Amino acid sequence: MVRLTSCPSKGCRLRRWIRSLAVAGLLVALCAPSFADAATVRVAVAANFTEAAKAIAAAFAAKTGDTAELSFGSTGTLYTQISQNAPFEVFLAADDARPKKAVAEKLAVEGTVFTYAIGKIVLYSADPDRITGAETLKAGDFDRIAIANPMTAPYGAAAIAAMKALGVYDALEPKLVQGTNIAQTFQFVATGNAELGFVALAQVAGNESGSLWELPTDLHPPIRQDAVLLETGRDSQTAKAFLTFLKGPEAAAIIRRFGYDTGD
């Protein structure tokens, strides 16, 4: 009987190496987290929170394997869609009024409302020498100033409140141009269709071009942005998991990075 105790040939060593890789690959597959049951949650998101929401959704997917499908718009427009049975499961508003209204109107689950972010508003211009502070508004030496529609966008309502507090609203009202939401308002300013405008700090955070003035918080009501679980998501574990993630430290760090305060 001949006992083979070694395999000196190159072909044999190659086969052994391939088998080792196969075994290693199997072990990695067995030890890796399984996302075979990955699911999707449909989230209605206020336009001002667009970039932060994208970053949070990516972090949520990396951690859970589940997908957050995001739809953006003004808070008022999104609420209208929700009231007309749009298939959203989670609502991230730009105010604290509509999530509470959703609960009152049986569109959302009682006890699930919480503040996920507190927004900050700035007066912004693409011109690096344009904005000097409240004096820019009082001087009024511009033709157009952009705001989001105050009827549907909380940042637009905050802009109106700030101008009234500064005593400049009546003089500036003829110069106002309205975006349907804060994202379009920013585009008006960025493209020069309006010399300046009121936008979310999050939209210009880290932007080294242009000029801005962050409005003192005593010029307008706090922009508390609340989230709520909608009735369509009542039985969705993925929707509940997304809201839990939104409350957690990883999401809070992202929220602060994009120029918001957190609700904790």
Residue 139 neighbours by CB under 8 Å, 6+ apart:
none
Q: What is the pLDDT of residues 167-186, one digit of tens each?
A: 999 999 999 999 999 999 99
Q: Is the pTM of this model over 0.85?
A: no
Asked if the model's pLDDT at residue 213 lies above 60, the reply is yes
Q: What is the pLDDT of residues 127-181, one digit of tens each?
A: 999 999 999 999 999 999 999 999 989 999 999 999 999 999 999 999 999 999 9
Q: CA–CA separation, 91 vs 45, rounded Å?
A: 6
Number of helices (H) and strands (E), helices first, in the chain? 11, 10
Q: CA–CA separation, 52 vs 58, rounded Å?
A: 10
Q: In which residue are the tokens 């991230």 written?
A: 92
As a whole number, mean pLDDT of residues 20-27 equals 43
Q: Which two tokens stand for residue 25?
A: 């690959």
What pLDDT shows up at residue 33?
47
Give the rounded distance of the alpha carbon of 208 from its chain centre.
Answer: 21
Terminal C-alpha separation, the chain: 77
What pLDDT shows up at residue 38?
78
Q: CA–CA separation, 109 vs 122, rounded Å?
A: 33
